[in-house]
Amino acid sequence: MCFPALAKGSLEGVKIFIDPGHGGPDPGAVGPSGLHEADVNLRVSRVLANCLREYSGATVVMSRTDNVDVSLGERVTAANNWGADRFISVHHNASVNRDYNATETYVYYYADRTAIDMQENVHRRLVEGLGLRDGQARTAGFYVLRYTSMPAILTEASYISNPYEEARLKDMGYTWREGYYIYLGIADHFGVAP
C-alpha cells in the first residue's frame, strides 16, 4: 500500500490498531505485589496512541480503552474490519524465575518482511531505551498475530514478575517512556522523523 503523506515526514493517513493485552476479568500476569499486567498494558498503549496521533498524525484505534473484557476474536475482527495498516499488541511477560527480566518482541511464524521490519525497529528501540537484557526478536503463534490480515507485532517489553521491574512499571514516567520507545520504532519502520 502506498502512503503518499509519508513524504511529508508524517504518518497522516496511516491506520494503526493498538491492542492492550488482557483486561476485564483477565488481569494477565500479576506482579509480586499485585500489579496487573492488563493495567500496565493499557497505560503504555494510551501513551503509544497519543504519541502516534500527536507527533505523527496517524489514525489510531484501540481494542479497549478501559479495563474491559475483549475476546481475542473481537480484537482481530475489529482490526481486520477497520482495514488497519499495522497491528501492535502490548504485553508484559512473566516467569517463575523472578530474577529474570528481558525485552522480547514477537511476529507470527510466517510473518512477511514488513512485519519483521516493524518488529526489528520496535525491538531495537525498546532494548536501547529500557536497557534490559535482549530477549530477542522472536516468532510465535499467538492468536492476534496469526489471524490479523495486516503486519502485526506483539511486544513483551519486560517481565512484571521481576520485583524490581514491577516497581518500575508502577512509575508513570517509566511506562510513558516505554510507549514512546514503541512509537519511535514505528516511526523508524515507516522511515519518518519522530
> pLDDT value at position 9?
63
Question: How far is 93 from 53, CA to CA, in rounded Å?
Answer: 27
Question: How far is 155 from 33, CA to CA, in rounded Å?
Answer: 23
> pLDDT value at position 1?
44
Mean pLDDT of all residues in 104-114:
98
> pLDDT value at position 194?
82
**Radius of gyration over every alpha carbon of the chain, rounded to an integer in angstroms:** 15
Catalytic residue, from 37, 156, 166, 178: name it: 156
Does residue 156 carry a catalytic annotation?
A: yes
For residue 194, CA distances in Å to 6, 56, 57, 146 come to 12, 7, 11, 29
Q: What's the CATH fold of domain 12-190?
A: Aminopeptidase (3.40.630)
Residues 126 and 162: beta-carbon distance below 8 Å: no
Residue 193 pLDDT class (50, 70, 90 cuts) = confident
Q: What is the pTM of this model?
A: 0.95
